[in-house]
Structures are given as C-alpha cells and as structure tokens.
Amino acid sequence: MAGLRIELPPFSMFSSTPVYQIGSDVVFGMLNDPIVADGSDELWPVPASAVPRLDLISNTFYGTPNLWWVIALVNDVLDPLVGVPQGTQIRVPTRQRLASLGILNA
C-alpha cells in the first residue's frame, strides 16, 4: 500500500522531512540535517526582565512563535519547555538565513 505524502507548513520543524499517511498512521521519513550554529547568527543576551521562553523569543525575532525549534536546535536546548536562563547569551539565526533554508519568508 503506497503512502500519501503530507505537506506541512514551511515553519514546521518537519517541513522538509518526508511525512506520509499510511492508512490512519502518520509516518516520518528520514530526518534532514538539523540547523546548527553559524557565524551569521545574532548573539542575543536574554534580558533579566524577559520571560526566557523559546516561543516568545521566536516571536520577538521572527514575528511568529512557531520557530521556537530553530532557536532550540541552534543552542542545543534539550528541554524547550524549560527555555533558557535569564542572562544567557543565545544564538538567533537571521531571518535571511532562515529564508535561504526555506523556513521563513524574509
């Protein structure tokens, strides 16, 4: 039985990963390489007054909370629910870099 390819929105962390529906099951294909730190990333100190949630940081930089996973991957955040400590300096990929990867329209 052949699977039906499912298209995901570009902001999804699985957008370029093959996803198929086989019957009532959704199956992920091979994962693509994760986004890694790059010299073009902006270094941003999380202010002491900020709520250090990745979705809020994503919304600040990209205008959408949906790209929290990009910041998590680039900064090797193991538990995105915990976020990052206030005062920590994190890497935030530029909008142009995400556009070149097809993740965000710049």
pLDDT tens for residues 45-64? Answer: 998 887 789 999 999 999 99
Q: Are 28 and 18 in contact (CB under 8 A)?
A: yes
Q: Which has the closest alpha carbon to 15: 36, 31, 37?
A: 31
Q: Kindly report which listed range (19-23, 55-59, 76-80, 83-87) carries the lowest average pLDDT score.
A: 19-23
User: If you write DSSP's letter for every residue of 16-46 in order, what string do you get?
Assistant: TS-EEEETTEEEE-PPPPPP---TTSEEEE-
Backbone torsions φ then ψ of 15, nearest 5 degrees: -60, -35
pLDDT band at 1 (very low <50, low <70, confident <90, very high): very low
pTM higher than 0.85: no
